[in-house]
Amino acid sequence: MNVIAVANQKGGVGKTTTAINLGTALAATGQRTLLIDLDPQGNASTGLGISRAQRTKSSYDVLVGDVPIAEAVLPTCVPKLSIVPATVDLSGAEIELVAFEERTHRLQKALAQIEDAWDIVLIDCPPSLGLLTLNAMVASNSLLVPLQCEFFALEGLSQLLSTVELIRERFNPGLSILGVALTMHDRRNRLTEQVSADVRAVLGRVVFDTVIPRNVRLSEAPSHGVPALIYDYRCSGSEAYIALARELIGRLARPKEPAKAA
């Protein structure tokens, strides 16, 4: 089971859009894919059409309430893609988790119960480096970092990387950076081009070749409760996520690269 945390403590960089559409593309290639919504905003759950009423068991119950994770798994409109939804309760988890001795290992423990039931688990992290994201990093084999092509793209990345280093030293030596995905790329915008060139110069091969374009279809799809790949599978955004899935599967098959990203 490959567990991948989609993380960046910066808000609005495309974590959820990536988790949903990459998850859909992976499922379409036959990978049994589980998306864990670990963000109290619950955007991944909403974007996959899971109503509030359906979220009777959620990632909060799994982390804080000892509910077996299999009981919280719901099917989605995409065959082979399931989700553990999030509710707003999860916003209290950052504080409630402090009371547990193994507060950083709650998700890892939960995932151990479903070892090998899924090929790929994607965790949609909240925009912070709090206990929820730490749980995701401890439970994961690797990290996928969406990076928005804007002027401050690299700001905050060093903080993310030092957190990864810390997790590696203390809890999860095997944690690697699977890749950095450039998102919301606008070819007509010179600044975007410059930023993506700079990011590639600094981070090198860890950056995926595939770039996710700025595409209005990607932002429209969640309001219809379906992935962009179902809303409009031929739009540039859908095509990019299919290409990213292909690239990601290639990386997963390769022997592990040295974990350093920069």
Ligand X SMILES: Nc1ncnc2c1ncn2[C@@H]1O[C@H](COP(=O)(O)OP(=O)(O)OP(=O)(O)O)[C@@H](O)[C@H]1O
User: Binding residues for ligand X, per CB under 6 A?
Assistant: 11-17, 39, 41, 43, 127, 183-184, 212, 214-215, 218-219, 222, 237
Using CB under 5 A as the binding rule, the residues of this chain from 186 to 205 that contact Mg ion are none
Q: Give the interface size with Mg ion as a residue count (CB under 5 A).
A: 3
- Sheet architecture: strand order including 207-213: 74-75, 81-84, 33-37, 120-124, 2-6, 142-148, 176-185, 207-213
Pairing of strands 207-213, 176-185: parallel
Pairing of strands 176-185, 142-148: parallel
Q: How many residues does the chain have?
A: 262
Nearest residue to Mg ion, scored by beta-carbon proximity: 16
CB of 14 to ligand X, least distance (A): 4
CA distance 35 to 120: 8
Interface with Mg ion includes 148 (CB under 5 A)? no
Interface with Mg ion includes 10 (CB under 5 A)? no
Interface with Mg ion includes 43 (CB under 5 A)? yes
Is residue 146 within 8 A of residue 113, CB to CB? The reply is no
Q: What is the C-alpha radius of gyration for the chain, rounded to an integer number of angstroms?
A: 17
Residue 10 or 185 with smaller CB distance to Mg ion: 10
Select from ligand X, Mg ion, none the partner in contact with residue 129, using the beta carbon and a kind-dependent cut-off of 5 to 8 Å. none
Residue 16 or 192 with smaller CB distance to Mg ion: 16
Question: Could you count the other beta carbons within 10 Å of the beta carbon of residue 90?
Answer: 24
DSSP state for residue 153 in the 8-state scheme: T
CB of 39 to ligand X, least distance (A): 5
Is residue 195 within 8 A of residue 214, CB to CB? The reply is no
CB of 221 to ligand X, least distance (A): 8
CB of 33 to Mg ion, least distance (A): 17
Q: Is the dihedral of CA 178, 183, 189, 195 positive or negative?
A: negative
Interface with Mg ion includes 15 (CB under 5 A)? yes
Residue 16 or 183 with smaller CB distance to Mg ion: 16
Interface with Mg ion includes 31 (CB under 5 A)? no
Binding site for Mg ion (CB under 5 A): 15-16, 43
